[in-house]
Each structure stands twice: as structure tokens, then as C-alpha cells.
Amino acid sequence: MNLGKQPAIKSLIVRLHKGSLILPVNLMAELVTGGELVPSEHPGVEGWLHWRNRQIPVVSIESLCMQEEEGESDEGKCLILHTVSALPGLPFIALRVQGGLNTLEILPDTLRDDHSGNMQRCPYVARQVRASHLLCFIPDLPAIEAAIAEVLQLTAEQREPVLEQD
């Protein structure tokens, strides 16, 4: 039985402060520019973005992987993503990004594993690959979302008053 060629996956290449991520296009909800973040004291959560009457946790892959100290990026852009886990209360997360978004059709043979300058096997990065000669990380979204859900459960009582101020 010939199944034929696998279809290409329409993907986004998103620039981070250091490096790039590859994400499926269908996870993207919106690219938000210039949103003010409410500060967060939790590692991995840079802050909270008010978006469409919701508080969305803004995640920094670099700080989750301890690649750099958290700091304001020079551009206030956040990519809002639909979550992949069916976690109650976490329909979206946001990633801090730089520049615009590039799309790429990914076929099974498009990506090449690349272990140069490995991110010390960060548990939030599923694969490190080269796509069109660009070093990219494929994030482990279920692991990131589980970490954020833990933070949300820790802060559920503290978040309520902030939500009521709007």
C-alpha cells in the first residue's frame, strides 16, 4: 500500500533573543506588538499580557533554559499561541519574540538534527535542527505548558485581585 508523500507542515520561524523557534502555524493566535506586561516573580514567566480580556502568561524559552537572565527585549512583541495540552485555565500562552514572522513549509526531510552549541539538553526544547541553514529549536510545548500550569496553581489566589482591577 503506497501512502504517497507526507504533506508539508506549514510552520513559523520565530526569532528569539538568542536563536529561533519553529512552531506549527495553526498554533498561532495573534502577534501582539507593544503590550505592557504585568511583572511576574516566577522563573520562566516574564510577565502577564492583557489580551482579549484575559491574562496570558508570557514565557521566555531562554530563561526557562537558563540561557540568559530575564530582561526586557528591545521589541515588545509577543506571539500568542493556542496551547496543545488540555489544561483547564490555560488556553493560551505567549512567547516574547523579535522581528517579524517567517513561514516555512516543512517536509520530513527539511529538518536536519543539529547538535552544535547544544542548549545543555534543555527539557523545554524537543529538538535542535537546521531549517534552511538556520539553527532552530523545536519547543516541547507540553513540558512548557505543564511548567506554566504549576506556576498558575501556585499563584491562583494571588492572581485573582489583579484580574478584578481591570
Residues pairing with 98 in the sheet: 15
The tens digit of pLDDT for each residue in 49-106 reads 999 999 999 988 887 876 655 454 456 789 999 999 888 789 999 998 888 888 988 8
The answer on pLDDT for 124 being more than 80 is: yes
CATH class of the structural domain 10-159: mainly beta
The whole-number pLDDT of residue 83 equals 94
Set of cell numbers at residue 66: 537558563
Q: What's the pTM?
A: 0.78
Q: How confident is the model at residue 4 (pLDDT cuts 50, 70, 90)?
A: low
Q: Measured between alpha carbons, how far is residue 121 from residues 15, 54, 55, 75, 112 in Å?
A: 20, 33, 30, 28, 17
User: Who has greater pLDDT, 59 or 6?
Assistant: 59
Segments making up each domain of the chain, as ranges: 10-159
